[in-house]
Amino acid sequence: MIVAVDGPTASGKGTIARALAERYRLPHLDTGLLYRAVGRQVLLDGGDPDDPADALAATRFPDTLLADPHLRSEETGGLASRVSIHPVVREALFERQRAFATQPGGAVLDGRDIGTVIAPEAEVKLFVTASVQARAERRWKEMRDRGVEVSLEEIAANLRRRDERDTQRKDAPLRAAPDARVIDTSALDRDEAVAAAIEAVESAL
Ligand code: C5P
């Protein structure tokens, strides 16, 4: 069984993907981490994230980079969103994601284009979304708990910028697959969101 979980930043897709992987005992790949590693590697190389050649060179990042806490930062998220525009970067990361998705026994993958490009044959496709306000508040609380001081407005503006870049790009834009089940987590807490996802999986099987 392949489970594809797509959606924008801070929608709850990562939490849902991890919970589903645990429940159905499937391996899980957070594909955003791959794009974040490319973004981080460009920075380490002193390259330009908007230059396709620099971004392509950065796709050969060492696997150890995937464990770097810097990957979680907002700055790296922004860089990831810039390098992910280049078709050569998406192509370079395709095989790795495809191999993960098609391993015997199945897998859960979360990202932006799993149900549309990486695994369009997935048995279960979820599109997890939430209002900008709800997502900004979540991100703000997360950052406050980590001791980072930022305004809610700044976070909301950042999310909008990232959404716009992810939905407007030509290659593999963020959008729900026609056969995806949409889960809006705006008014749901963690457990409710996971319960809604499990219900969606059960009814798709
Ligand atoms: O999900 P996350 O916020 O970690 O993703 C970082 C960025 O990587 C996204 O804003 C998006 O531009 C890009 N991405 C992508 N395709 C994926 C996963 C992430 O383009 N499958």
User: What is residue 73's predicted lDDT score, i.e. its pLDDT?
Assistant: 87
Whole-number Å distance between alpha carbons of 120 and 113: 9
Instruction: Give the distance (Å) from ligand 1 centre to CA of residue 112.
Output: 6
For the stretch 28-83, pLDDT in tens is 999 999 999 999 999 999 999 999 999 999 999 999 999 999 999 889 999 999 99
H/E segment holding residue 129? strand 124-129
For the stretch 130-186, pLDDT in tens is 999 999 999 999 989 989 899 999 999 999 999 999 999 999 999 999 999 999 999
CB of residue 12 inside a 6 A radius of ligand 1: no
Whole-number Å distance between alpha carbons of 164 and 40: 21
What kind of architecture, by CATH, is found in domain 1-26+108-205? 3-Layer(aba) Sandwich (3.40)
User: What is residue 34's predicted lDDT score, i.e. its pLDDT?
Assistant: 98
Confidence check: pLDDT of 122 > 90: yes
Give pTM, 2 decimals.
0.96
For the stretch 74-117, pLDDT in tens is 899 999 999 999 999 999 999 999 999 999 999 999 999 999 99
Contact 19, 194 (CB under 8 A): yes
* Probe target for ligand 1 pocket from 31, 98, 108, 125, with the most ligand atoms within 8 Å of CB: 31
Q: Which residues contact 20 (CB under 8 A, 6 or more apart)?
A: 3, 5, 26, 108, 194, 197, 198, 201
Average pLDDT for 122-126: 98
Domain ranges across the chain: 1-26+108-205, 28-102
User: What is residue 28's predicted lDDT score, i.e. its pLDDT?
Assistant: 98
Average pLDDT for 4-13: 96
Going by alpha carbons, the residue nearest to atom 4 of ligand 1 is: 32
Whole-number Å distance between alpha carbons of 125 and 137: 26
What tokens appear for 128 in the block? Answer: 């997890």
User: What is residue 4's predicted lDDT score, i.e. its pLDDT?
Assistant: 98
Instruction: Give the distance (Å) from ligand 1 centre to CA of residue 80.
Output: 6
> ipTM value of the model?
0.98
Instruction: Give the distance (Å) from ligand 1 centre to CA of residue 63.
Output: 18
Which residue from 31, 1, 6 is spatially nearest to 123, judged by alpha carbons?
A: 1
User: What is residue 205's predicted lDDT score, i.e. its pLDDT?
Assistant: 86
Instruction: Give the distance (Å) from ligand 1 centre to CA of residue 187.
Output: 24
Contact 17, 7 (CB under 8 A): no
